[in-house]
Amino acid sequence: MKIFINFGKGFMTTGKTTKMVLFLFVINLLFSLILAVPMYNSLKNSLGASEAGNRMVESFDYIWWEEFRDEAQGLETTFTPSIIGKGAILTNLESLIQMRFFSAPPILIGFGLLYIILHTFLAGGILSTFNQDEPRFAVKEFLQGAGSHFLRFLALMLFSWLFLFAIGAFLHNAILPIIDDISSDSYSEVIPFLLMLALNVIAFFLLLFVQMVFDYARIKAVLEDENNVLKATGKAFRFVFKHPFSTLGLFYLIFFLNIAVTVIYILVKETIPQSDVLTVLAAFFLQQLFIFALIWIRCLLYASQWELYRYLK
């Protein structure tokens, strides 16, 4: 019951701050254009008004792509068939689970780090907005809150990475060799597949668990003005382990809401042929609506966790 009560409170709080979600969406869009514009120019120069460009409208032209791939450098190397449609979501999910953060081109790693730092900055503004008696969005107050909490949130982010890398190192160095040994002696591919599936599920659960704990550490840092990030993290862990059903239940309720929205987006987008200007624009609008929904759900998670923390502390 606590889960749904605080989910409802978080839902109403997020509904009152839709302007903030729109503001975050615009920032996300502007940031993505930094990568999208150079990629667009590169593809435009390669395709132009060629026959390959016409074929790409109908379906993916693998012959053209192989030539483009051979000459690609930096960001261009990320343009592959796997980033089209639902493939991009699945590829990113696989990279996250297997912690292949640094296998991307250096320019993409750099922008990724900048995006994470930007997200850390904006998180301070989000939680500062929710810390008001009557949450309302104003750009000036949002940016002031983001700036005042940035250093603490940055320290929490770096601290969380220690946990993430420790988890990755343990799974890769201790568990993966065992699965490889079993796979080499197995006469069937079923058992190795199931073991790898279980490993990926465990890795994903641990990644989400660390994210959830540090969400509460950030909430505590704002709500109680805690400057010591080690104390904030320790108390966040104690809070989660003291209320495992409520914290995990709320987190996964919103997580599966995120999954449901993603599945709906994939299914709807697959029905749009994108064979002319109008359908391409429709697909683009749908994609931006999906991104807006993901940002809204992230704010909903913060708001619901905020309400749960105040409810249980």
pLDDT tens per residue across span 114-123: 888 999 999 9
The rounded distance, in Å, linking the Cα atoms of 239 and 123 is 20
pLDDT at 207 over 80: yes
Pick from 162, 155, 166: which is nearest to 123 by CA?
155
pLDDT at 102 over 60: no
Hey, what are 11's tokens?
A: 């839902």
Tell me the whole-structure pTM to 2 decimals: 0.81
pLDDT at 90 over 50: no
pLDDT at 235 over 90: yes
The rounded distance, in Å, linking the Cα atoms of 160 and 152 is 12
How many H-runs (helices) and E-runs (strands) does the chain carry? 12, 0
Interval 246-269 mean pLDDT:
92
Q: What is the DSSP letter of 83?
A: G
pLDDT bracket for residue 76 (50, 70, 90)? low
pLDDT in the model for residue 175: 76
pLDDT in the model for residue 174: 77
For the ranges 20-24, 73-77, 169-173, which has the lowest average pLDDT?
73-77
pLDDT in the model for residue 216: 96
pLDDT at 211 over 90: yes
The rounded distance, in Å, linking the Cα atoms of 229 and 87 is 38
Q: What residues contact residue 256 under an 8 Å CB cut-off, 6+ apart?
A: none
What is the pLDDT of the chain when averaged over all its residues? 81
pLDDT bracket for residue 97 (50, 70, 90)? very low
Interval 26-44 mean pLDDT:
74
Pick from 59, 17, 72, 44: which is nearest to 303 by CA?
17
Interval 232-240 mean pLDDT:
94
Torsion of CA 140, 141, 143, 148, to 10 degrees: 140
Distances in whole angstroms, Cα of residue 187 to Cα of each of 184, 190, 197, 297:
8, 9, 18, 45
Top pLDDT among 95 and 227 is at 227
Interval 131-151 mean pLDDT:
92
Secondary structure element (H or E) that encloses residue 29, with its range: helix 18-47
The rounded distance, in Å, linking the Cα atoms of 212 and 218 is 10
